[in-house]
């Protein structure tokens, strides 16, 4: 600094050093204002021309931390260049500047991570079919932002000379204790992560669990999965149990559901005619019903010789689970009507009994049964006792 003062023709006095420090701080403030008010608006106008909004969001997020960092740097340089501080004071100023710089950098990174993930979440909300990212990104955002600020605090404490090893050890022990205390919650949390990442179920799917619980999936959360049953009741299933049970998803891998119907006709029916009528019923129904999948086709086949009928099956496909009920009902109704028109009989359960020939004699009911006579002997009379 004395060399600078000498070049400027100024005396090496305290007031000249203070004036130079003020000039340096003013220059840093003007530079920060120019960056904040001129450079950043120009950068944001250029970012509007790009196909994505992410660059503009990141530029706006870094605006205030960068401006504050320029002012901090100008203040530090003005102080250390204008004044000859003693080594202890200079070390204190250096540590303070490093701590404030680390804090500013932490705020900058936290804002960038937070705004970037907010943009990603907003992009997911506009998608027609939201994937697992929509459920994972909010949790990832909270974890990353918390981790960023937590590491920043540890860095500032380390710069200031505060030991962080005991703090880390304490946090580790506290984490173990908290983990043991909330172990059921953590198990549900990790199970929820598995359920979300696997993509086994999604909101709107109709599922049936191994224990008989069935319903539409309302939401897959981090702790539990909520179902709406056919009785319009809410069932909350913990994710730890949800991940371990056997689940039938009626909407995966595709929403269409196969409709399998069994029937039977009497043994004296014309089987070729039965097949033709059945195929005609299914074909007409697929062409007229909005619930059937015409492209899948219709299938017919005889199954077995039953006790009363020759059994066969009909096979078509509905658009979804609800449509399968409508299609099955219409198929039964139309098939019964056509069989009645064609004179095809669906027999009631009949059992034929065959007896050996000749049959054993049957007693004549007009002849009264011969009575059975039971003869009882009277008891012997009492004999008096005579003396000898």
Residue 212 maps to which CATH number?
Answer: 2.30.30.60
Share of the chain above pLDDT 90, in %: 34
| Beta bridge pairs of residue 316 | 259
Contacts of 285 (CB under 8 A, 6+ apart): 292, 316, 327, 330, 331, 334
Residues 121 and 223 in one domain: no
pLDDT for residue 387: 46
Mean pLDDT value of segment 89-114: 92
pLDDT for residue 30: 93
What range does the domain containing 222 cover?
200-249
- Domain-embedded: residue 189: no
Residues 90 and 205 in one domain: no
Residues 168 and 244 in one domain: no
Residues 162 and 223 in one domain: no
244, burial (CB in 10 Å: exposed 0-12, middle 13-18, buried 19+): exposed
pLDDT bracket for residue 253 (50, 70, 90): confident
Residues 170 and 300 in one domain: no
**CB–CB of 268/310 below 8 Å?**
no
The residue ranking higher by pLDDT, 167 or 158, is 158
Residues 173 and 32 in one domain: yes
Task: Average the pLDDT over each of 16-30, 134-148, 160-174 and give the range with the smallest value.
Answer: 160-174
Q: What is the CATH number of the domain that holds 335?
A: 3.30.70.100
- Domain-embedded: residue 15: yes
Residues 77 and 211 in one domain: no
pLDDT for residue 248: 87
pLDDT for residue 142: 84
Domain boundary among 146, 181, 216: 181
Share of the chain above pLDDT 70, in %: 74
Task: Average the pLDDT over each of 277-286, 303-312, 359-368, 372-381 and give the range with the smallest value.
Answer: 372-381
The maximal CA–CA distance of the chain, rounded, in angstroms, is: 177
- Domain-embedded: residue 175: yes
* Alpha-helical segments (H) within 182-213: 183-198
Tell me the whole-structure pTM to 2 decimals.
Answer: 0.56
Domain boundary among 342, 359, 381: 342
The predicted-structure confidence for 308-345, as pLDDT tens digits, reads as follows 899 999 999 999 888 999 999 999 999 999 999 999 98
Residues 95 and 49 in one domain: yes
Identify which of 77-86, 173-182, 362-371 has the greatest average pLDDT.
77-86
The residue ranking higher by pLDDT, 129 or 206, is 206
Residues 221 and 307 in one domain: no
pLDDT for residue 239: 81
Residues 6 and 87 in one domain: yes
| CA distances from residue 348 to 174, 187, 264, 308, 309 in whole angstroms, order as listed | 73, 56, 10, 7, 8
- Domain-embedded: residue 355: no
Residues 114 and 239 in one domain: no
- Domain-embedded: residue 97: yes
Residues 243 and 261 in one domain: no
pLDDT bracket for residue 122 (50, 70, 90): confident
pLDDT for residue 237: 87
Mean pLDDT value of segment 71-93: 85
pLDDT for residue 298: 93
Based on the structure, what is the number of domains in the chain? 3
- Domain-embedded: residue 102: yes
């Amino acid at each position: 600094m004395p060399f600078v003062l000498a070049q400027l023709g100024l005396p090496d006095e305290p007031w000249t050093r203070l004036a130079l420090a003020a000039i340096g701080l003013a220059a840093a403030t003007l530079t920060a204002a120019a960056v904040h008010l001129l450079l950043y608006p120009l950068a944001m106008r250029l970012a509007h021309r790009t196909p994505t909004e992410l660059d503009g969001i990141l530029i706006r997020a870094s605006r205030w931390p960068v401006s504050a960092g320029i002012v901090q740097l100008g203040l530090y340089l003005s102080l250390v260049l204008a004044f000859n501080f003693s080594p202890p004071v200079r070390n204190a100023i250096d540590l303070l500047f490093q701590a404030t710089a680390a804090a500013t950098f932490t705020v900058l990174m936290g804002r960038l991570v937070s705004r970037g993930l907010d943009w990603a979440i907003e992009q997911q909300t506009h998608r027609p079919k939201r994937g697992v990212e929509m459920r994972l990104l909010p949790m990832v955002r909270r974890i990353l932002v918390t981790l960023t600020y937590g590491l920043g605090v540890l860095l500032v404490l380390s710069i200031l000379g505060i030991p962080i090893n005991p703090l880390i050890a304490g946090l580790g022990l506290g984490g173990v204790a908290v983990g043991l205390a909330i172990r059921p919650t953590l198990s549900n949390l990790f199970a929820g992560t598995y359920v979300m990442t696997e993509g086994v179920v999604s909101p709107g799917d109709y599922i049936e669990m191994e224990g008989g619980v069935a319903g539409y999936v309302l939401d897959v959360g981090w702790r539990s999965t909520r179902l709406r049953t056919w009785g319009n009741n809410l069932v909350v299933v913990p994710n730890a149990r949800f991940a371990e049970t056997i689940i039938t998803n009626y909407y995966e891998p595709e929403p269409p559901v196969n409709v399998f119907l069994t029937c039977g006709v009497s043994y004296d029916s014309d089987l070729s005619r039965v097949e033709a009528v059945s195929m005609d019923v299914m074909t007409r129904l697929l062409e007229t019903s909005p619930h059937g999948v015409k492209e899948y086709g219709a299938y017919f086949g005889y199954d077995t010789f039953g006790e009363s009928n020759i059994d066969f099956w009909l096979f078509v496909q509905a658009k979804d689970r609800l449509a399968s009920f409508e299609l099955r009902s219409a198929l039964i109704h139309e098939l019964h009507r056509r069989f009645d028109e064609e004179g095809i009989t669906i027999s009631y359960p009949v059992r034929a009994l065959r007896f050996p020939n000749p049959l054993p004699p049957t007693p004549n009911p007009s002849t009264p049964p011969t009575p059975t006579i039971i003869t009882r002997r009277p008891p012997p009379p009492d004999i008096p006792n005579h003396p000898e």
